[in-house]
Amino acid sequence: MLELIVISTLNGVLYGMLLFLMASGLTVIFSMLGVLNFAHASFYMLGAFFGFQISRWFGFWPALILAPLLAGALGAAVERYGLRHVHKNGHVAELLFTFGLAFAIEEIVQIIWGKSPVDFRVPPLLDFPAFTLFSTNYPAFKIFMLVVSIVIFIGLLVVLKRTRIGLIVQAALTHPHMVGHLGHNVGRIFMLVFGVGTALAAVAGVIAGPALVTQSNMAGLLGPILFVVVVVGGLGSLPGAFIASLLIGLVQTFAVSMNGSLAGAFGPLSPDYAATWLSDIWNVTVAQIAPIMPYLLLVLILIFRPMGLLGTRDT
């Protein structure tokens, strides 16, 4: 039992940190531009595919640096030459723009790399069990993923709290108009934030690609969860996104490891109802509904605390 708890905690934290890498960019972009960027997970996918391609040519380590830079530059370009023009037509147009962009990116990725998974391998240097815990091995690459996300998290905190640019970004989070009135180049800040946000998502892509599956539907699998993280954490709140990411990572991982069901709690259903719909509900286990847990959380949060866990503004 202890073994299961420890391993599940590790897995949950790891998944949570991956989510945070993506959600951090998304939440900052949302609060500054007021746009829920539907294409955000697509940059995660782009990161994975760029990483795959570059690691083919130059190896994994250059890919870890180059792929996010490339995806970030692309993200900045999307803001500068796309979103900024669409901005004039209001939020709905912006929303639709990112929505379309997500599909376009998926199609382009399919054209270039095909529809089936590509062979993105863990670098040999990290392909060994890091340690053995109660006879379960924990892969070194996963520890590496954890370390990278923690380093980036700390870096992000330092930049936001200790630098001038971070100060402006923070101000723009809560008072975007006031920052503009104070004479800062809001346009450039937006572009920068968009670029950095998408680059972070791409970092997540490069490190998740080899551990999970790199294929053209990976954005679609992760995208919806990101919105849950952002809403649950509170719009525009980085600490909120952090807590929500970990929470969802842990909830999903632990839900999988639980076998509880209504039948387990209240005893088996009386045979009279065995053939009815009730028996399905009665016998479904927590593990089976693990994938919908985050969405359940989303619904509950929106009902009882619409501004999210640490949010200050209403949507």
Partner 1 sequence: MRKLALIASIASIALPMLGGAAMAQETVKIGYIDPLSGGGASVGEVGLKTFQFLADELNAKGGILGKKVEIVPLDNKTNPQESLIQAQKAIDGGIRYITQGNGSSVAGALSDFVTKFNDRNPGKEVLYFNYAAVDPVLTNEKCSFWHFRWDANSDIKMEALTNYIKTVPAVKNVYLINQDYSFGQSVRTQARAMLGTKRPDVKIVGDELHPLLKITDFAPYIAKIKASGADSVITGNWGQDFALLLKAAADAGLKVSWFTYYAGGTGGPTAIKQAGLNHQVFQIAEGIPNLGHASADVFEKALRAKYDFSLFYPRAVNEMRMFAAAAEKAKSLDPVKVAAALEGMEFEVFDGGKGNMRKDDHQFFQPMYIASFGERTDKEPFDEEKTGWGWKLAAKIDTPQTVLPTTCKMERP
Minimum distance from CB of 51 to partner 1 (Å)?
A: 16
Contact 48, 39 (CB under 8 A): no
Q: Any contact of residue 264 with partner 1 (CB under 8 A)?
A: no
Query: Cβ closer to partner 1: 116 or 270?
Result: 116
Half-sphere exposure for 33 (CA within 13 Å, toward CB): 33
Give the Cβ contact number of residue 129 at 10 Å: 13
Minimum distance from CB of 216 to partner 1 (Å)?
A: 7
Minimum distance from CB of 268 to partner 1 (Å)?
A: 15
Taking CB under 8 A as the criterion, the residue among 95, 262, 263, 287 binding partner 1 is 287
Cα gap 241→235, rounded to integer Å = 8
Query: Cβ closer to partner 1: 187 or 291?
Result: 291
Taking CB under 8 A as the criterion, the residue among 77, 213, 262, 278 binding partner 1 is 213
Q: Any contact of residue 296 with partner 1 (CB under 8 A)?
A: no
Q: Any contact of residue 261 with partner 1 (CB under 8 A)?
A: no
Minimum distance from CB of 134 to partner 1 (Å)?
A: 9
Minimum distance from CB of 249 to partner 1 (Å)?
A: 10
Minimum distance from CB of 12 to partner 1 (Å)?
A: 8
For helices 40-58 and 2-33, the axis angle rounded to 10 degrees is 110
Where does this chain touch partner 1 (CB under 8 A) — which range of 50-58, 73-81, 215-223, 301-309?
A: 215-223
Query: Cβ closer to partner 1: 256 or 262?
Result: 256
Task: Outline where the chain has alpha helix (H).
Answer: 2-33, 40-58, 60-78, 84-86, 91-113, 140-162, 164-174, 176-181, 186-211, 218-233, 238-256, 262-266, 277-283, 293-304
Where does this chain touch partner 1 (CB under 8 A) — which range of 92-100, 213-221, 227-235, 271-279?
A: 213-221
Contacts of 274 (CB under 8 A, 6+ apart): none
Minimum distance from CB of 104 to partner 1 (Å)?
A: 16
Give the Cβ contact number of residue 183 at 10 Å: 7
Cα gap 175→168, rounded to integer Å = 10
Taking CB under 8 A as the criterion, the residue among 162, 183, 259, 271 binding partner 1 is 259
Query: Cβ closer to partner 1: 56 or 121?
Result: 121
Q: Any contact of residue 82 with partner 1 (CB under 8 A)?
A: no
- Distant-in-sequence contacts of 102-105, Cβ < 8 A, 24+ apart: 102/38, 102/39, 102/41, 102/42, 102/219, 102/223, 105/39, 105/42, 105/43, 105/45, 105/46, 105/219
Cα gap 51→45, rounded to integer Å = 10
Please report, as residue ranges, which positions from 92 to 151 form the binding site for partner 1 (by CB under 8 A).
110, 115-117, 129, 132, 135-139, 142
Query: Cβ closer to partner 1: 136 or 163?
Result: 136
Contact 55, 215 (CB under 8 A): no
Please report, as residue ranges, which positions from 183 to 212 form the binding site for partner 1 (by CB under 8 A).
211-212
Query: 295: alpha, beta or left, given left = phi > 0 and alpha = psi -120 to 50?
Result: alpha
Which residue ranges make up the site for partner 1 (CB under 8 A)? 1, 3-4, 7-8, 11-12, 15, 110, 115-117, 129, 132, 135-139, 142, 211-213, 215-218, 221, 252-253, 256-257, 259, 287-288, 291
